[in-house]
Amino acid sequence: MSVTVRLPTVMRAHAGGQSEVRAEGGTIGEVVEDLIRQFPNMATHLRAPDGGLHRFVNVYVNDEDIRYLDSLDTKVDDGDEISILPAVAGG
């Protein structure tokens, strides 16, 4: 599966300034692996030391947070749009 990944400002420098990149994978976990393969400096932004998703990173498939889907096992389809955003407060 080929998907579009929207990057937050803080990660764009690791992708040559691009705000959107392409990645491959059948699950979010595989997409994250592919991103790190293409852009190794993203690893510290995406992964926690235990191999899970970094706690201050939210990943969305078609605007739905994967932590309330199947987390890294969430399936992706061709053409899905993945967004990565930092956790931000409001109020």
Partner 1 sequence: MLYGSILDLIGDTPLLDVSALSPNPRVRILAKLEGQNPGGSVKDRPAKAMVEEAEKDGRLQPGQTILESSSGNTGIALAMIAKVKGYPIKVVLPENVSVERRQLLEVWGAEIITTPGSEGSNGAMRRAQALAAEHPDWFFPYQYGNPDNPKAHYEGTGPEIWRDCPEVTHFVAGLGTAGTLMGVGRFLKERNPEVQVWAVEPPAGEMVDGLKSLEEGYIPEVFLDNDGFALLDAKLIVRPRESIEWTRRLTDVGVFAGISSGAAMAAAAKCAERIDEGVIVVILADGGWKYLSTGAWTDDLDVVEERAKRVIYF
If binding is defined by CB under 8 A, does position 8 make contact with partner 1?
A: yes
Asked if 82 contacts 8 with a C-beta cutoff of 8 angstroms, the reply is no
Asked if 37 contacts 46 with a C-beta cutoff of 8 angstroms, the reply is no
Which residues, 12 to 31, sit near partner 1 by CB under 8 A? none
Task: Look at residue 2 and give its three-state secondary structure.
Answer: strand
Amino acid identity, position 8: P
Could you give the CA distance from residue 24 to residue 83 in angstroms, rounded to a whole number?
Answer: 14
If binding is defined by CB under 8 A, does position 90 make contact with partner 1?
A: yes
Shortest distance, position 2 Cβ to partner 1, whole Å: 22
Residue choice 43, 57, 75, 80 for contact with partner 1 (CB under 8 A): 57
Asked if 27 contacts 73 with a C-beta cutoff of 8 angstroms, the reply is yes
If binding is defined by CB under 8 A, does position 91 make contact with partner 1?
A: yes
Shortest distance, position 41 Cβ to partner 1, whole Å: 12
Interface residue list for partner 1 (CB under 8 A): 8-11, 45, 54-58, 60, 63-65, 67-68, 83, 85-91
